[in-house]
């Protein structure tokens, strides 16, 4: 699903894997602030997390992650994404 939404954007896929290696939409991150597939920060993106679709529609949540990623949101795992490249095989 993430590959489809991002058109196989390896930077995005590796970043999400770094944020949530279990790929679970309901994950509460260790910092107590991040939630979901990509560790969306509650204080900064409250409207997304409080939207009823956040937990009921994984595609919607992943789309929000990708839109944030492409819009310039800096995810914690972005700086470590290279460690996750080998987990994906994406067509060129």
Could you tell me if residue 92 is inside a domain?
Answer: no
* pLDDT for position 33: 85
* pLDDT for position 92: 62
Strand partners, 35: 28, 40
Could you tell me if residue 56 is inside a domain?
Answer: yes
Average pLDDT of the residues in 49-76: 96
Within the chain, what is the greatest distance between any pair of CA atoms? 37
Which domain range does residue 11 map to?
A: 2-87
Could you tell me if residue 76 is inside a domain?
Answer: yes
Count: domains in the chain:
1
Residue 91 has a CB neighbour count (10 Å cut-off) of: 5
| Strand (E) or helix (H) holding 6 | helix 2-6
Could you tell me if residue 64 is inside a domain?
Answer: yes
* pLDDT-derived band at 29, boundaries 50, 70, 90: confident
Do residues 15 and 83 touch, judged by C-beta distance below 8 A? Answer: no
Do residues 33 and 41 touch, judged by C-beta distance below 8 A? Answer: yes
| Token code pair at residue 87 | 């987990």
């Amino acid at each position: 699903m993430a590959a489809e939404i991002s058109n196989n954007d390896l930077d995005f896929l590796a970043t999400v894997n770094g944020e949530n290696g279990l790929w679970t939409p309901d994950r509460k991150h260790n910092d107590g602030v991040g939630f979901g597939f990509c560790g969306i920060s509650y204080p900064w993106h409250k409207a997304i997390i409080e939207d009823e679709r956040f937990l009921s529609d994984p595609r919607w949540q992943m789309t929000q992650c990708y839109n944030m990623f492409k819009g310039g949101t800096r995810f914690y795992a972005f700086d470590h994404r290279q460690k996750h490249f080998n987990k994906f095989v994406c067509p060129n």
